[in-house]
Structure 1
Amino acid sequence: LLRNASMKVAEAIGLIGECNVQLALNPFSEEFYIIETNPRMSRSSALASKATGYPLAYIAAKLALGYTLDEVINKVTGITCSCFEPSLDYVVVKVPRWDLEKFVGAEKSLGSEMKSIGEVMAIGRNLYEAFQKAIRMLDIGEPGVVGGSYYDEDIPLSVVIEKLRKREPYWILHTAKALKLGVSVDELHRITGIDKYFIQVVKDIVDFTEELRSKKEEIKLNYDLLVKTIAKAKEYGFSDEQLSKLLGIDVEYLRRLRISEGIRPYVKQIDTLAAEWPARTNYLYLTYGGSIDDLDFSRKSKEKVLVLGAGVFRIGVSVEFDWATVNLSKAIGRRGYEVIVLNYNPETVSTDWDVNEKLYFDEITLESVRDIVDLEKPIGVVAFVGGQISNNLAKKLEDVGVKLLGTSGLSVDRAENRAKFSKLLDYLGLKQPPWIEVTSLEEVLKNIYEIGFPVIVRPSYVLGGIAMKIAYNVNELVDFLKVATKISREYPVVISRFIDNALKVEVDAVSDGRKVVGVTIEHIEPAGIHSGDATMVTPVRRLSNDVIKEIHDAVLRLALELEIKGPFNIQFVVKDDTVYILELNLRASRSMPFSSKSRGINLMELTAQAILNDGLRIGKSGEYLELPAKSWAVKSPQFSWAQVRSAYPFLGPEMRSTGEVASLGKSFEDALLKSWLSVTPNRLPKNEELIMIYTAVSEDKPLLSEVSFIFKKVGYDVVTIDGMSINNSNTISYDESLERLRRGDVGLVITTGYTPEKDYSIRRLTVDLNIPLILNANLAYELSKAIWLLKDNNSLIDIRELSEYWS
């Protein structure tokens, strides 16, 4: 019915290529409506292509060139044509990833406006397996549909039902919780409108879990029953971790037991034709719903390298890490190795099945990686290009005997564990802000005054500044630790003195264990704003040669001490020409694509040299080499304040931007303006539009007054707000400021700090109306000077082909 309606839409619009048709079906009849059609590649095109193996973009391009469907060869089989609808012998589940908890005041109800930041795609032989995989892939701390902290937490049923009524993210988890608490399938269908079939699948998982829990002592005492239970649980998508927790047995014992009994995942190919025709591509997934592998692992081939991808996109992890995965994979492939990629994000290039010789579209967990290593027997595993999700596995893999390529897992742990790294810095005599390690709130209250306020809370093994917070007094600190951070002897937290109004600097680098090659980057915004939300500049502008040398010497000393082989990133703050080290990320960083493109030298190519060849081909042993800059480069963050309804826009140590842009230029101002203007919805204010500048932060008033002075010299009228006013501006009331925004009189708003009790409505209205918003005084000052120069010199903006900036 719906397929035929979609085909009629395509015929009606004279479609050549691909389109997306969205329909609404009455769940109680065959009544339906067509909502819209998008005659282009849609967001779901990549998902549909990777779910089926049918490459929509490739085929659409061929059709645009004049081919017909029967003339286009199916790239998966290499023999059959593309004039067919794919057949599947597996189930695919896509689940979005949300990060709404990062946004203060955000409305969490889901509706017609997209709020997700990424998505996962899980493949299994049944819905149980696919559902459980998908929840683990989200990397939200849940081991599957059941058995996690939320499932077992003591939460009133009324709270769970309210989450379902409001359509808050992750309905599967809320449904499992409600079913555990006794709500029926019919009642959940009535509350949510979700088809009973899907709710019943979740109920089957819950029922199995509760039966297993009630009989776990009996199961553990009966070996045959234990083996049968494990086999059934694996078909239901349970991980070893889930099962070990539910049964109360050691996870390593469970793994050895199931392998000895032949309970292992089988490797299956995605072939577009439900195994009716042999596939030529090695597009693979793991499943316990099989009895034979689709590949012959006994055949000899080239030496293999397994590269772990970045998994789901979330705030802090986006295409930057996929760039690292793809570019390193290509560099390894050029050296004659068979490259195997493990990833599960349908939005990425690394999950294009024709990019590498093998693609496993599956979970990035310790269990899955070990299963693949057992089958493929690679010479090593690369865990440093996939962001935190892969890097967190480094030491765990090493501990169970899996060989890592690049830096050792022990060194990764010394760098990523905040306390161990702080002790390392003390041992090397490298400066860092005063710090303490605490394992309880009692220790916090006892020792916090040793370092003094303000302080920053720094959990270990995090990306995107998760659970980082600046506290200005003990009450703020204790409140935050109670709410946001798990603190115990197992999860110690490092609290460091926060150095206010300091310059933030970082170095992206590659080492071969003997020398270091790097790129030094400076932030326009001061320390205290997450690097992902900061405007980055390279080469550096405000550091003396002595400070730069001290930074580079520290980078070299750490690289040699940790025996780093591969990419890494070190972050510093500089205050009054004193250099302090903040952290070392022993992996590819978010900024490495930017660093590489700023210099025209691919840091992943250098990484391949470091881990597979005899070492870096440039630089001298025992020295740090800064890659020379031949132009200016600026990276600007892209925020999605307008999409996150009710959120209060502000900057802090936890990342909130959802993307980034960058530009190169012949001058700093050239690169800055092009970069900032490339961010949505930024634009230069029209001559007749007002610029609104205000702040409740007294320390920012002098610089913002200077910004106002510059804009007035350019020719703009500047207004400020009574009670939060600055100098050199016309003061208007709070109510008038809202009215001016609504009337479209304002072309740019500049403010600073975190003061929702004073200006929530102004900031919220600004982003809802897509008016450009600047949230930092330093950035406002640099942009005002650049706009002033542009008004005096129209040739300031210089457009060139990318490679021209490198010559």
Structure 2
Amino acid sequence: GPNRIGQGIEFDYCCVHAVKALREEGYETIMVNCNPETVSTDFDIADKLYFEPLTFEDVMNIIERERPGGVIVQFGGQTPLNLAIPLERQGVRILGTPPDGIDRAEDRKRFAEVVEKLGIPQPPNGTATSVEEAKEVARKLGYPVLIRPSYVLGGRAMDIIYDEETLLRFMREAIEVSPEHPVLIDKFLEDAIETEIDAVCDGETVYIGGIMEHIEEAGVHSGDAACVLPPFSLSDKVIQTMIDYTYKLARELSVVGLINVQFAVKNGTVYVLEANPRASRTVPFVSKATGVPLAKIAAKVMVGKKLKELGVTETPKLNHVAVKEAVFPFDKLPGVDVVLGPEMKSTGEVMGIDSDLGMAYYKAELAAETKLPKSGTVFISVRDEEKMRILPIAKKLSELGFKILATRGTAESLSAMGVAAEVVPKVSEGPPNIVDYIRSGKVSLIINVPKGKGPKDDEFYIRRAAVECKTPYITTIAAAHAAVMAIERVKNGKFTIKSLQEHHSAVREGKVISAEIQIRNCSWR
């Protein structure tokens, strides 16, 4: 389907790999895609190509004409997945995960029942089929809550709600709620670590393709969060629990092909947030980081191959750290706030690889056109509850030779704890204020942590000035920690470049350095 936020080139990558794998197995392939900006619509990829929209009627017309042996829906993102049940009702053979398994994962109410049956913890939640029910559930859970509609793409219309007034406005304006489209309301787990797993299942065996840990905490959409493979702060017990839950979910949902499971970890407890029995947008990242082509393997599994036959049984041990970073279009969208949340905003992604997390993160930021400074002036402004958490970041920046600017409240707090900070006026306090400083090039890095979505206040104008002046900016404490680690590493270390093939051959030859030990030692969680 068309490229839009939430559905982009990652799914094109999966479709191309699937076609190549099926061709290797001797199948004729037919591609249905109305997007000319993709590789899957190149003339030499599939045997036949239909430039048609992915609607039930158009797809059925193609099926009646071509009479295929089976249809694959799990590589194109949410749009083809939504066609699985209507196509099955017309007698079309869906290859891979059965449509009922897809529905049990995608329908929020049915998925809550699956998780309960398997005894897997989920954040306290309830489902609502009307605005009144939503009010009742949110009151019972206590604010803040996370709203998740069913069958949505890229976290569309998901939001963190802090009060009833916002809830009512959101339910009226943003989503369609009905018995056919229940809305899941989760108790929002503040300060939880978000993680995810990409796996392939052949109906019996489950292969764990990659375990990723997000740098940003829970509440930022997985497509917008920077994520690290292998995980950098999780205990072996937590990792094993995540793997066990993935096995259970893949088997319960009768997954044949790909599955992506997202988790939140808080105080050592692993909660399942959602399971997607399809190619996720992290499949290309995991495949490139590990050298194992997950989409190709999944396609072969869907036409009857077993993982053991394909020689895919053990997750490779990496001798490097890979960081995926999102790329945002904010400079092309004047007036849009850059604060991240559960609704996806990014339009692309990049990757950085090195032998340690600091350098890998620096490379990922560089690829996303965010050049972290090695010296200069840092502006810091955080809400009251984050003032203790920003202290070690400010201390380290000061030790690295940066000058600290801050708004009055943050500056007083830092000075009281022994970090020198110069007070700079807010926008509302008249010129020369912080926006003037940014526009005149006096600020090298901005750390601005807001709370929720408010009116267009001082913070909004600071963030917009950063975008317009191409000044690196950070809006979460976790990303600030990672950035400081990267700056320290690049100031003190050597910048090395290796090809992806060199990294992959080192993995195949078993040249494993203790990447996990290196990164777990520098964890700030």
Specify which structure has the bigger relative contact order, considering alpha-carbon pairs within 8 angstroms and separated by 6 or more residues: 2
Q: Is the 8 A contact 1:441 1:478 kept in 2?
A: yes
- Aligned partner of residue 633 in structure 1, secondary structure: strand
Displacement of 1:450 in angstroms is: 2.7
**Counterpart-to-counterpart distance in 2, 1:739 and 1:686:** 22
Question: Given the alignment of the two structures, is residue 588 of structure 1 paired with residue 276 of structure 2, yes or no?
Answer: no
What residue is the counterpart of 1:757 in the other structure?
457
**Counterpart-to-counterpart distance in 2, 1:419 and 1:535:** 29
Displacement of 1:448 in angstroms is: 2.9
**Counterpart-to-counterpart distance in 1, 2:309 and 2:124:** 37
Displacement of 1:480 in angstroms is: 1.2
Cα distance per residue 1:171-192 (max 9 Å; x no partner): xxxxxxxxxxxxxxxxxxxxxx
What residue is the counterpart of 1:731 in the other structure?
423
- What residue identity is the alignment partner of 1:485? I
Cα distance per residue 1:636-692 (max 9 Å; x no partner): 111121110111220111111121110111111121110011112x113263x3211
Displacement of 1:548 in angstroms is: 1.0
Q: Is the 8 A contact 2:25 2:300 kept in 1?
A: no
Displacement of 1:507 in angstroms is: 0.3
Question: Given the alignment of the two structures, is residue 747 of structure 1 paired with residue 434 of structure 2, yes or no?
Answer: no
What residue is the counterpart of 2:350 in the other structure?
661
Question: Given the alignment of the two structures, is residue 611 of structure 1 paired with residue 302 of structure 2, yes or no?
Answer: yes
Q: Is the 8 A contact 1:396 1:409 kept in 2?
A: no
Alignment of 1:615-764 (within 5 A): 615-617=306-308, 625-680=314-369, 682-685=370-373, 687=375, 689-695=376-382, 697-725=383-411, 727=414, 728=419, 729-734=421-426, 735=431, 736-753=433-450, 754=452, 755=454, 756-764=456-464
Distance 1:764 1:719, change over 3 A: same
What residue is the counterpart of 2:160 in the other structure?
470
Cα distance per residue 1:242-281 (max 9 Å; x no partner): xxxxxxxxxxxxxxxxxxxxxxxxxxxxxxxxxxxxxxxx
Q: Is the 8 A contact 1:455 1:470 kept in 2?
A: yes
Displacement of 1:786 in angstroms is: 2.1
**Counterpart-to-counterpart distance in 2, 1:628 and 1:368:** 45
Runs of 4+ in 1 over 4 A off after TM superposition: 618-621, 723-726
Cα distance per residue 1:404-436 (max 9 Å; x no partner): 110011110010001100111111111101111
What residue is the counterpart of 1:772 in the other structure?
472
**Counterpart-to-counterpart distance in 2, 1:620 and 1:344:** 35
Distance 1:619 1:775, change over 3 A: farther
Displacement of 1:771 in angstroms is: 1.2
Displacement of 1:389 in angstroms is: 0.6
Alignment of 1:20-59 (within 5 A): none
Displacement of 1:699 in angstroms is: 2.6
Displacement of 1:572 in angstroms is: 0.3
What residue is the counterpart of 2:249 in the other structure?
558
Displacement of 1:625 in angstroms is: 4.8
Q: Is the 8 A contact 1:599 1:630 kept in 2?
A: no
Q: Is the 8 A contact 1:703 1:781 kept in 2?
A: no
What residue is the counterpart of 1:546 in the other structure?
237
Cα distance per residue 1:183-224 (max 9 Å; x no partner): xxxxxxxxxxxxxxxxxxxxxxxxxxxxxxxxxxxxxxxxxx
Q: Is the 8 A contact 2:158 2:343 kept in 1?
A: yes
Q: Is the 8 A contact 2:216 2:476 kept in 1?
A: yes
What residue is the counterpart of 1:439 in the other structure?
129
Gaps of 5+ in 2: 507-525
Cα distance per residue 1:439-495 (max 9 Å; x no partner): 112222333333222111010111211010111222222221111111122322111
- What residue identity is the alignment partner of 2:360? A
**Counterpart-to-counterpart distance in 2, 1:701 and 1:437:** 36
- Aligned partner of residue 532 in structure 1, secondary structure: coil
- Aligned partner of residue 542 in structure 1, secondary structure: coil
Q: Is the 8 A contact 1:638 1:657 kept in 2?
A: yes
- When normalised by structure 1's length, the TM-score is 0.59
- Aligned partner of residue 93 in structure 2, secondary structure: coil
Q: Is the 8 A contact 1:432 1:582 kept in 2?
A: yes
**Counterpart-to-counterpart distance in 2, 1:648 and 1:678:** 22
Q: Is the 8 A contact 2:137 2:185 kept in 1?
A: no
What residue is the counterpart of 2:44 in the other structure?
354
- When normalised by structure 2's length, the TM-score is 0.90
Of residues 372, 378, 382, the one that matches 2:62 is 372
- What residue identity is the alignment partner of 1:692? F
Displacement of 1:384 in angstroms is: 0.4
What residue is the counterpart of 1:114 in the other structure?
none
- Aligned partner of residue 444 in structure 2, secondary structure: strand
What residue is the counterpart of 1:209 in the other structure?
none
Q: Is the 8 A contact 1:685 1:747 kept in 2?
A: yes
- What residue identity is the alignment partner of 2:125? W
What residue is the counterpart of 2:511 in the other structure?
none
Q: Is the 8 A contact 1:516 1:625 kept in 2?
A: no
What residue is the counterpart of 2:517 in the other structure?
none
- Aligned partner of residue 364 in structure 1, secondary structure: coil
- Aligned partner of residue 244 in structure 2, secondary structure: helix
- What residue identity is the alignment partner of 2:379? M
Of residues 259, 276, 299, the one that matches 1:568 is 259
Q: Is the 8 A contact 2:146 2:188 kept in 1?
A: yes
**Counterpart-to-counterpart distance in 2, 1:446 and 1:667:** 48
**Counterpart-to-counterpart distance in 2, 1:514 and 1:643:** 47
**Counterpart-to-counterpart distance in 2, 1:669 and 1:597:** 19
Cα distance per residue 1:343-379 (max 9 Å; x no partner): 0111100011121211111111111111111111111
**Counterpart-to-counterpart distance in 2, 1:620 and 1:552:** 20
Cα distance per residue 1:688-722 (max 9 Å; x no partner): x3211112x22322232321211111111121122
Cα distance per residue 1:130-177 (max 9 Å; x no partner): xxxxxxxxxxxxxxxxxxxxxxxxxxxxxxxxxxxxxxxxxxxxxxxx
- Aligned partner of residue 248 in structure 2, secondary structure: helix
Q: Is the 8 A contact 2:41 2:49 kept in 1?
A: yes
- Aligned partner of residue 507 in structure 1, secondary structure: strand
**Counterpart-to-counterpart distance in 2, 1:322 and 1:482:** 34
What residue is the counterpart of 2:484 in the other structure?
784
Task: Kindly name which structure, 1 or 2, has the bigger radius of gyration based on alpha carbons.
Answer: 1
- Aligned partner of residue 701 in structure 1, secondary structure: helix
Displacement of 1:595 in angstroms is: 0.5
Question: Given the alignment of the two structures, is residue 804 of structure 1 paired with residue 502 of structure 2, yes or no?
Answer: yes
Alignment of 1:97-176 (within 5 A): none
Q: Is the 8 A contact 1:686 1:747 kept in 2?
A: no
**Counterpart-to-counterpart distance in 2, 1:314 and 1:698:** 37
**Counterpart-to-counterpart distance in 2, 1:505 and 1:742:** 37
**Counterpart-to-counterpart distance in 2, 1:415 and 1:686:** 46
Distance 1:684 1:447, change over 3 A: closer
- What residue identity is the alignment partner of 1:601? V
**Counterpart-to-counterpart distance in 2, 1:342 and 1:508:** 25
Distance 1:552 1:625, change over 3 A: farther
Cα distance per residue 1:474-522 (max 9 Å; x no partner): 2222221111111122322111111110000100111001011121100
What residue is the counterpart of 1:494 in the other structure?
184
Alignment of 1:80-91 (within 5 A): none
Q: Is the 8 A contact 1:619 1:625 kept in 2?
A: no
Displacement of 1:724 in angstroms is: 5.0
- Aligned partner of residue 673 in structure 1, secondary structure: helix
Q: Is the 8 A contact 1:517 1:626 kept in 2?
A: yes
Q: Is the 8 A contact 2:372 2:483 kept in 1?
A: no
Question: Given the alignment of the two structures, is residue 334 of structure 1 paired with residue 334 of structure 2, yes or no?
Answer: no
Superposition RMSD on alpha carbons, in Å? 1.7
What residue is the counterpart of 1:530 in the other structure?
221
Q: Is the 8 A contact 1:666 1:798 kept in 2?
A: no
- What residue identity is the alignment partner of 1:644? L
Gaps of 5+ in 1: 1-310
Q: Is the 8 A contact 2:135 2:167 kept in 1?
A: no
